Amino acid sequence: MSGGKRVVVVDDSALLRWALRATLVGGGFRVAGEAASGREAIELVKSQRPDLVTMDLDMPDMDGLDAIERIMAECPTPILVVTAIPRYRGLDAHFEALARGAVELVPKPSAFPGTPREQRELLEMAILATRIPVVAHVRASVRRRREAPLTTPARMGASRAELVVIGASTGGPGVLRELLLQLDRVDAPVVIVQHMVDVFAQSFIDWLGLHTNMPVYEAKPGASLLPGTVHVAVRGSNVRVSREGRIEAAPDVLSPHRPSIDVLFASAAESFGARALGVLLTGMGDDGAAGLAAIAATGGLTVAQDEATSTVYGMPRAAVERGAARWVLPDHELARAISAAVANGG
């Protein structure tokens, strides 16, 4: 046990801390300390320098959002948000936590110490979080990147994009929020697959809708793909796009993710060909790489997020290594690239 990853557990409930400690220690972690408030958490992280922090959001003295921002500015550490509180302070705290630098979200157990599935999912996410590099001053670095000179090629390609498909996983919510904020409106339908725990799906869709002037819907079979609309698939079955411009249910494929980015991208290649624009964002694994290659093979435009701005350079790297990405761009250039491709083919 001496070689296990060290974790600081933060929650104002002693019972919840006990449940998390039992699960994490059973999975090979070592608990370096416990805190009941955000302020205590900051001091513990500074003194113990753990490999991981599990963070509640609604706590006395200093809440989890402020603690995450302080930790990521002063002592960057992978933070896994473990919470059951959907909303407070007038915003959706889950995704604000990701925007401030937390790595991922998991729901609190339904019973203590949690069902076997809940414990397994918590451990899997905790192990994943310890493997993700983090950077200091998350918000400051985003501002600096946004102010940097743009280097997007003047012309992306000859064909005007009539459909935009986007795939994202770990680190995706923050990038998608900034992308939609900058995009504001685009004269093409946008379909997004974001890997996420089902319980957070609806609040994620609602949260994205707060950050764009375009209507944001859950991607459901039968929905029409109208210009200037955003459809988000985050739970349930795979989805595809049809030649008639509708969302359809797609059969299951051998993939650890449902919905699958590859399934959506492959259908965009089949139905829209050179009129499709595929964008693959931050995430672990390789979902989306084959689908992006399919879009490229039909003459469609393909973009991958670059390594410097990706939380996890897994999916984009897989696409780049197989030659599927025509352009590799930082997050702050994605909106301009999409707008250019939709407006006039680049």
Do 340 and 272 lie in one domain? The reply is yes
Do 278 and 292 contact (CB within 8 A), yes or no?
yes
Do 129 and 167 lie in one domain? The reply is no
pLDDT at 144: 40
Token match 């003459």: residue?
A: 299
Sheet holding 104-107, edge to edge: 30-35, 6-10, 52-55, 79-83, 104-107
Beta strands in 186-237 (DSSP E): 190-194, 216-218, 230-233
The answer to whether residues 56 and 15 touch, using CB atoms and an 8 Å cutoff, is no
Active site residue 260: no
Looking up residue 76, the CATH number of its domain turns out to be 3.40.50.2300
Catalytic residue among 12, 92, 287, 306: 287
Give residue 174's domain range: 152-344
- Of 90, 108, 140, the residue that ends a domain is 140
* Terminal-residue alpha carbon distance, the chain: 55
> Considering 91, 115, 140, which residue would you say is the last residue of a domain?
140
List per-residue pLDDT tens for the chain, 346 residues long: 456 899 999 999 999 999 999 999 999 999 999 999 999 999 999 999 999 999 999 898 899 999 999 999 999 999 999 987 555 455 577 888 888 889 988 888 877 778 888 899 899 999 989 988 876 644 534 444 444 444 555 455 557 999 999 999 988 999 999 999 998 889 999 999 999 888 888 889 999 998 899 999 999 999 999 999 999 999 888 999 999 999 999 987 766 778 999 999 999 999 999 999 999 999 989 999 999 999 999 999 999 999 999 988 999 999 999 999 999 999 999 999 999 999 876 5
Q: Which of 140, 172, 195 is the last residue of a domain?
A: 140
Region for residue 8 given its phi and psi (left: phi exceeds 0; alpha: psi -120 to 50; beta: otherwise): beta
Residue 31 lies in a domain: yes
Of the candidates 167, 118, 186, the one whose C-alpha atom is nearest the C-alpha of residue 339 is 186
Q: Write down the pLDDT at residue 156.
A: 57
Are 196 and 338 members of one domain?
yes
Q: Is residue 268 included in any domain, yes or no? A: yes
pLDDT computed for residue 230 by the predictor:
98
Write out the two tokens for 332: 């702050």
The tokens for 118 are: 């809940």
Query: Which entry of 37, 159, 169, 267 is annotated as an active-site residue?
Result: 169
The reported pLDDT for the residue numbered 146 is 45
Q: Is 287 known to be catalytic? A: yes
pTM, full prediction: 0.87
Give a yes or no: residue 77 inside a domain.
yes
Q: Is residue 297 located within the same domain as residue 236?
A: yes
Q: Yes or no: say if 211 and 177 are a contact pair by the CB < 8 Å rule.
A: yes
Same domain, 120 and 158: no
Asked if 62 and 101 sit in the same domain, the reply is yes
- What is the model's pLDDT at position 86? 55
Number of domains the chain contains: 2
Name the helix (H) or strand (E) containing 28.
none
- Between strands 30-35 and 6-10, the pairing is parallel
For 266-319, the three-class secondary structure string (H helix, E strand, C coil) is HHHHHHHHHHEEEEECCECCCCCHHHHHHHHHCCCEEEEECCCCCCCECHHHHH
Residue-level pLDDT at 251: 83
* Contact residues for 311 (Cβ-Cβ < 8 A; gap 6+): 103, 132, 170, 171, 174, 282
119 and 160 co-located in one domain = no
Measured CA distances, 128 to 12, 27, 195, 205, 306 (Å): 24, 13, 14, 24, 20
Other beta carbons less than 10 A from residue 293's beta carbon: 21
Query: Is position 169 annotated as part of the catalytic site?
Result: yes
Asked whether residue 30 is assigned to any structural domain, the reply reads: yes
From the list 94, 195, 211, 257, the catalytic residue is 195
